A and B are shown apart, each in its own frame.
Chain A
Amino acid sequence: MQNNFPNEGMSVIVKTITRFTVWLIFLYGLYIVIHGHLSPGGGFAGGVIVALSYVHLTLAYGKNFVLERVDKFAMNSLEAIAAILIVLTGIVGLYITGYFFANFMGVGKLYTLLSAGYIPMLNIFICVKVGMGLYLVFYYLASFKPKEG
């Protein structure tokens, strides 16, 4: 990856290590999300870890490096789409079974990855919503400049 802002962020040691660890953190977040219905964790916890991988990158490389690669507008949109999908899941449940947020998919076999009906799906939506939302909060706080005087 070409770095257009080589003088920003932390030292070379941190940057080099970050290159290895950022994927581990990101993948661990996804693992927590995908196994949310089987083991401790879930959409929220996994989403926070996914957001932390971005935060990690921002701390090591400076915010301009990350912002060149991820679009704030796209992040905002993804967050909104995830929220809409969560609500729509509830409405689909209402339409199919007559109860808001009813589990309208087959629950499958216990302890298998594809089980628990719509819960893995909701976990993924929540992960996107929380991950994008938390990173945006971090970004806006980081880019806030107080007025002089």
Chain B
Amino acid sequence: MRTVDTKEIEECVYKMARRAGLTLTDSCRAALKNAKERETGAAEFALSALLENEKTAQREQMPVCQDTGMAVVLLSLGQNVQLTGAPLKEAVDEGVRRAYADGNFRKSICDPLTRVNTGDNTPAHLHVEIVEGDKIELTFLPKGFGSENMSRLFMLTPAEGREGIVNAIVETVKRAGSRPCPPVYVGVGIGGCFDSCALLAKKALTREVGSRHPRKDVASIEEEALQRINELDIGPQGFGGKTTAIGVSCELAPTHIAGLPVAVNIQCHCVRCEKEVF
């Protein structure tokens, strides 16, 4: 049995959050650079501004986007790890609290009815999965809501099948139009049930932009959806163009014989995601 003080988890969350706020993932940056080569006019202007913006963020130590997001934390905990110290959830929240204060990040979390801000961007959205081994794997995904607002869940019928899945993905991006800061990164959950399907979609967003699912039938859904999305001519910022999405990633789970849940989680072009294993 390995013993880990949750203070270590707090520190890790703190560092990941600080870094994520100021940095695009390498695969996102590469996708934006590629897209810039393909675009002209206002679309090219927008992509150039975004690439320049990340440099400004690093130089000035300011977040790339003011929507420093809801702190989504995915934790894979080896079952041979015994946690000591402060309760896990408190440790994660403390890491978020300190990072958002020290990094001059925006505090965007509020009561859903009174809209009163919690003032420190907590609580984090923590998902814990117990796995084999004695390692801890942490993923930090600051999730902006301009794009989150455009996400949808479909309870399709088995008969709708593959075609229904691709249509649901394309329809979601089409309906979102210029609003979620395109070019978007599209995370898709296929299967599971009402709640786990949405989490699959979010997990899909932690994959590298441009990566393909190892299953060929799933990868072909990703490719077809991406192609059809990029024919919509929404373009960067909705200014028109060839790049409406920089990627589509699908994750799967077994589902019920009566159903085919599909969740489409939209991420803006500002993909920020940090991973650590220890």
Report whether chain A binds chain B: no
Contact surface of B with A, Cβ cutoff 8 Å:
none
Contact surface of A with B, Cβ cutoff 8 Å:
none
